[in-house]
Structures are given as structure tokens and as C-alpha cells.
Amino acid sequence: MWSGPGFRKIPHCFPTDGRRSLAFALSMGSLQRADDDVFARIGVFFSSATAGTWAAWKRLTFEYDGLRYVGSFAPLFVHQYSQAWFDFRGKRDKYADYFANSAIATDAHRLFCLELAKQFPDYSDDLWGITASDSEKGYVIWGGPPEVGPIDGTVVPSASAGSLPFLPQPVMRVLRTMKSRYPAAWSKYGFVNSFNPLKNWYDGDVVGIDTGITMLMARDARSGFVWNTFMQNRRRSAAWSALGSKRISPRLGDAASERSCFSSNRRNFASCFDRCFAPRLPKADRSEDSIQFPTD
């Protein structure tokens, strides 16, 4: 991928890489509708961003325990950040269904953590999740599969919480466990950035970007509010068109679709989530779920 003045090369990543794909997609939409404001200027900055660039993006295929998905040699967060905003459900381009792909990647990560339980017995179906975070020795980039970094049994709450829409039931199981069984992992502002039950170590910090992805994905899983708001933007529509995205219907019996489909149970999920993590708010304070935003 080439971007910016002087055509600096961004060598590799895949289309749902949360660090780049959101800006890339918006730039594509801006090039289609470069008629006003800051988005037009972003479009000029990414003037070399074309559908051909999207097609040239590397899409490495990984397989773990029988699960195949598109990914990269990076922690789980790359499957999360762009999808907190873009609603990829029921859509695909000619390469992948990216929502289902991230659900499969999350499940592969869960199984990866279960395999690590042979070395670090704190990992289980009740407690898993490793992504770039603080550690006892400082900031570390770790995760998998494939295994990345000096994994030592540390648990990162945002790793599982950032995948709430992808695997709501397994993730809620983990979040309940962390809050009930490890009270030191919960603070005034939510979960600490990371903790290691084997060493009885708990991070003293709550990191905004990781708490942020937790809150965004919780809102998407509860009501779709962030998705619904963001997807009203007209440049988003232009981006879908430019990238060749199309709607699809989940196939009956498709394991990935079944794992990631929670819309019919959203009311039950929201009720469960609130009981575990949020004080009951007056009805008026929840009215944002029905706000209509302008498309511009």
C-alpha cells in the first residue's frame, strides 16, 4: 500500500487491521464524494488509495485447530478496532466475510489460550485473552496464534472484551469470571489493563484505548448503537461501493455465522451485561439508542 506525500510504502497488513483499514476505507469513500470538509482533504492525502490497492492488500490465511481465517502476525486487537465502527455483518467483498472471519480468529485465539493452559494453568474456558498490553515488566506485544511475545500467563481483559460482538456468550463467561473471581482486576473505571493470577500481579493502570474498545464493543453487542450511528455516514456508503462490498445471507449451518449471530438474543444479552457490569440507569438515560443522526 502507498500513502501520503512522497508515496511512503506501508508494506503489509490485511483489510480488517484496526490500525489502518478504517482510515483507508474512509479515504476511499472520500475520493468518491470529495466535495467538502476534512474528509475531502483526507481523500487527497490518500490520493493513491484505489480499489486496486485494496485488492493488492495482503491476505494471509492461517489455520489453527481446524479453523481457517485471514489474519496477520499480530495480536487479536487487529480484528477489533475497525469493526467497532464499521458494521461488517452480512457483508463481504470478493475476498472474505470479515465479520465472520474475526469471529473465527477470536475462536482460534480462545483455543490457543486453552492450549497454553499446559504451561499457564490460569488459562481456561473461563479465563482467556492475550493482546498487546502492559505487563509486570512493561508494555509487551503478545498474543497468537501463532505465538507472539513472551507470554507468561497474563490475562488482558480487552482481548476478550474487544470481541464481544463476535463471540458474545464465551466472552461474557470470561468477563463474569474476571469480575467475580478476581476483584483486584476491577476498578472504578472498569478492568485494569492486565493482570497475572499466577503471580498475583495486577496492573495499576486502566488504559483508555483498551477500555475504549471494551466500551465500544459492549455498546455494539447490546444495541448496535455505534454501528448504526457510524453507518449513517454517506462516505461509508461510498466506501462500500468503491471496495466492491455486497450483502450476503448467513448460510444455515455455517458455524461461523452461528457463532457470530446474536441479534435475536440481543435483549437477553443486554440484560445480562447490565446485571454484571452496569448500574441500572433511568430509562431516559438510555435514550441514545433511538437517536437519529444526520447522514453528513
* Confidence at residue 42, expressed as pLDDT on a 0 to 100 scale: 47
List the beta bridge partners of residue 92: 246
Contacts of 132 (CB under 8 A, 6+ apart): 75, 77, 139, 140, 141, 142, 143, 156
Residue 284: all three cell numbers together: 431516559
C-alpha angle with apex 195: 193 to 201, nearest 5 degrees?
130
| Rounded Cα–Cα distance for residues 143 and 156 (Å) | 10
Residue whose entry in the numeric block shows the C-alpha cell 474476571: 178
- Its pTM stands at 0.76
- 95 band by pLDDT with thresholds 50, 70 and 90: confident
pLDDT at 192: 97
pLDDT in tens, 216-251: 999 999 999 999 998 887 776 666 666 666 666 544
Q: Is the pLDDT of residue 268 over 50?
A: yes
DSSP 114-130: HHHTTT-TT-BTTB---
Rounded mean pLDDT, 158-178: 96
Q: What is the pLDDT of residues 110-150, one digit of tens each?
A: 999 999 999 999 999 999 999 999 999 999 999 999 999 99
Q: Which of 4-18, 95-109, 256-270, 281-295 has the highest mean pLDDT?
A: 95-109
Q: What percent of the chain clears pLDDT 90, i.e. is strictly above it?
A: 47
Sorted by sequence, the CB contacts under 8 Å of residue 193 that are 6+ apart come out as: 133, 134, 156, 157, 158, 203, 205, 206, 207, 210
pLDDT at residue 164 in the model: 95
Nearest to 100 by CA among 261, 252, 256: 256
Range ranked top by mean pLDDT from 41-45, 56-60, 271-275: 56-60
What's the chain's Rg over C-alpha atoms? 19
Residue with cell 437517536: 291
Question: Using the 8-state DSSP alphabet, how is residue 149 labeled?
Answer: S
Q: Which of 38-47, 103-112, 121-130, 159-168 has the lowest mean pLDDT?
A: 38-47
Task: Name which residue leads in pLDDT, 38 or 131.
Answer: 131
pLDDT band at residue 284 using 50, 70 and 90 as cut-offs: very low
The number of helices, as runs of H, and strands, as runs of E, in the chain is 11, 10
Task: Go through the domains of the chain in sequence order and give each one's CATH number.
Answer: 2-278 (1.50.10.140)
- Say what the pLDDT of residue 253 is: 36
173, three cell numbers: 463467561
Separation of first and last alpha carbons in the chain: 28
Q: Is the pLDDT of residue 257 over 50?
A: no
Condensed to tens digits (0 to 9), the pLDDT of residues 193-223 reads 999 999 999 999 999 999 999 999 999 999 9
Cell representation of residue 88: 461488517
What is the identity of the amino acid at 81? Y
Among 17, 109, 99, CA closest to 62: 109
